[in-house]
Amino acid sequence: MSGREHGVESFDRLGDIDAANVVRCARSLLRRPLLHTESQDGELLGMIYRHRAVLQEMFSTLLGYRLVIHRRYARLYKSGPGADPTRAVPTLSPRGYAYVALTLATLTGSGKQVLLSRLIADVHSDASEAGMVVDDGPTDRRALTAALRHLVALGVLTETEGTVAPSANDSTAEALITVDTDLLGQLLSGPLAEATGPEHLVALSSGTAGSHVATVEQAVRRRLVEDPVVHYEDLPVSQANWLRRHRAREARMLERYFGVVAESRSEGIATADPQDYLTDTPFPGTSTVARIAQLALPELLDSTTPRAGDHRHPVTWQDFTRVCTELLENHPSTWSRRATEDPDSLIRMVVDLLRRVGVLAPDDPGEPNGWLLSPSAHRWLPIPEGDPGPAAEPETLPAPEPPAPGLFDLLEGEPPH
């Protein structure tokens, strides 16, 4: 596939070694959109700076993403996962996210260094001005500490003396905090100067408003790069039609530029990273939750009927309860003690895992106990181990008409589309 097919001519002119290095840099930026010298993969900054022109053209042309590269840091302005609740930072609660926003607002006027006690006092003051009720109780202290720790991990804050960690349990703890104002200025993904309010800023950040609107092909590619499973039914009509026409070409593009493998079937496309580097949630796994989730898939698929025209299986909390309870009762010594003592908690974790993997989605936002199970779940059906022994010769029957291939049901020897 020629890079000129997508307009990435600078990539097409690279030799094999440089092209492989650019792909490695692109994958690192997709995983860590704010990359600095002290972060994981920070050693790649030199290579990213050297190939900055190619990387900037590649992200701009293919995904409509802006990429800022300096010697000390690189910032990829992605559109983000939108309203997907499974893609949040695990350590941040909704209260923690609110404190991140408040802290960023406070830091814009704090200078290069600030005492922890002064920063907390200013955050509380700004929260009161914004009409947000805060207190100095343990819950708020933990949320604020999580927000500060997140900003430390991003490199925006550095603990020069002391640490922000004890503030969750000790409101008198002190520390000297250094602010990286350069990284602070790069953190927000939306242009503040153009935003007329919070909702407009979110729309600008996601590429759905103003001059930042992504093209049809860019919007589709963002989904393919960021989401493990993309159903045609979930896309706007224009995007779904475009992807159906160009799915083979897009599969080649994903592998060439980002090292991602796409599997195309009638219901949609799933993407996987053979190295698991870009995989948010590896699956299957060896934990009790992962094993029960995988073992539950066959029964959930077999006991429910696909929705007409959608191919997805409606499942309920009762379905999960029945299937998971049977697995716990039939093999009690196999699972962790916590799982057998608290099955409701286990079922919630199974549902959450399947949602993060991309095979389970809410059926109705207003109905919290109903989901749609993707046919892509077939790719993870468990295969029994061992020899079942000889079986009786079955009666010879006429060969049935082969069904149309379902999502990820690869026939033997068939390469992915």
> SS3 string of the chain?
CCHHHCCCHHHHCCCHHHHHHHHHHHHHHHHCCEEECCCCCHHHHHHHHHCHHHHHHHHHHHHCCEEEECCCEEEEECCCCCCCHHHCCCCCCHHHHHHHHHHHHHHCCCCCEEEHHHHHHHHHHHHHHCCCCCCCCHHHHHHHHHHHHHHHHCCCEEEEECCCHHHHCCCCCCCEEEECHHHHHHCCCCCCCCCCCHHHHHHHHCCCCHHHCCCHHHHHHHHHHHCCEEEHHHCCHHHHHHHHHHHHHHHHHHHHHHCCEEEEECCEEEEECCCCCCCCCCCCCCCHHHHHHHHHHHHHHHCCCCCCCCCCEEEEHHHHHHHHHHHHHHCCCCCCHHHHHCHHHHHHHHHHHHHHHCCEEEEECCEEEEEEECHHHHHHCCCCCCCCCCCCCCCCCCCCCCCCCCCCCCCCCCCCC
Residue 366: give the domain boundaries: 288-379
- The pLDDT assigned to 211 comes to 60
Residues 240 and 294 in one domain: no
202: in domain: no
Residues 177 and 220 in one domain: no
411: in domain: no
Give the residue from 140, 169, 185 where a domain finishes.
Answer: 185
Give the residue from 77, 104, 136 where a domain finishes.
Answer: 77
Q: Determine the Cα–Cα distance for residues 382 and 216; give it in Å rounded to an integer.
A: 37
408: in domain: no
Residues 53 and 131 in one domain: no
191: in domain: no
The total domain count for the chain is 4
Residues 313 and 237 in one domain: no
Residues 292 and 268 in one domain: no
Give pLDDT tens digits along the chain (417 positions): 444 455 588 998 999 999 999 999 999 999 999 999 988 999 999 999 999 999 999 999 999 999 999 999 999 998 866 666 666 788 888 889 889 989 998 998 888 999 999 999 999 988 888 888 887 788 888 999 999 999 999 999 999 998 887 555 565 678 999 999 999 989 887 777 787 877 777 777 776 665 667 899 999 999 999 888 898 988 999 999 999 999 999 999 999 999 999 988 888 898 989 998 988 888 888 899 999 999 999 999 999 888 877 788 999 999 999 999 999 988 888 888 888 889 999 999 999 999 988 889 888 766 667 899 998 888 888 876 544 344 334 444 444 445 445 544 544 445 444
- The pLDDT assigned to 395 comes to 40
389: in domain: no
Residues 181 and 99 in one domain: yes
178: in domain: yes
- The pLDDT assigned to 379 comes to 83
- The pLDDT assigned to 397 comes to 42
Residues 105 and 52 in one domain: no
105: in domain: yes
268: in domain: yes
- The pLDDT assigned to 85 comes to 61
Residues 300 and 252 in one domain: no
Residues 324 and 348 in one domain: yes
- The pLDDT assigned to 80 comes to 66
- The pLDDT assigned to 207 comes to 66
Residues 246 and 316 in one domain: no
CATH for 155? 1.10.10
Give the residue from 27, 42, 77 where a domain finishes.
Answer: 77
pTM score, whole prediction: 0.80
- The pLDDT assigned to 389 comes to 40
